[in-house]
Amino acid sequence: MSEKPRQKKWLSAIAEAAEEQGVSLPPFHVHGMGCARSVHVADGRFITFKRRLVPAAQAEVDGIEWSLWLEQNDLPTPIAAFREPLEPKPENVAETLSLLRGWLVDGWSPDETKIAVGQHPRARVVEEMAH
């Protein structure tokens, strides 16, 4: 039952920071079960946000995960992923917004994105899905 408030906290924090910086991010749609997804931008890029459905104590350790995707020919490919604490803090919001902006707005290449996200302290290894 606590999924929606946490999503709204992070999504609201990102939206507020983007507005303050004049960054136009696409909207996110909450899909329930701890997940949200951005609207695709013109070249098939989108972002997902999720909280693992685990006990609260484990969720505190795992935090939430942001994944950056590229969809071409109806095939989504994960490009990069990173985790943040469950509760957004200004420094985490700023870092997350920078990565989301680079991918969705500034049009970083997949390689540039992997390098930038790879510098994040909680970067996650993503493996391409077999198509």
Q: Which amino acid is at 57?
A: A
Give the pair of three-digit tokens for residue 74. Answer: 């109806």
Distances (CA, A) of 31 to 23, 35, 47: 24, 5, 13
The 10s digit of each residue's pLDDT in 22-69 is: 999 999 998 877 799 999 998 999 999 998 777 778 878 888 999 999
pTM, entire model = 0.87
pLDDT score of 38: 95
Edge-to-edge strand order for the sheet containing 35-38? 28-32, 35-38, 45-51, 64-72, 75-84, 123-124
The 10s digit of each residue's pLDDT in 61-113 is: 888 999 999 998 889 999 999 999 989 999 999 999 999 999 999 999 999 99
pLDDT score of 128: 65
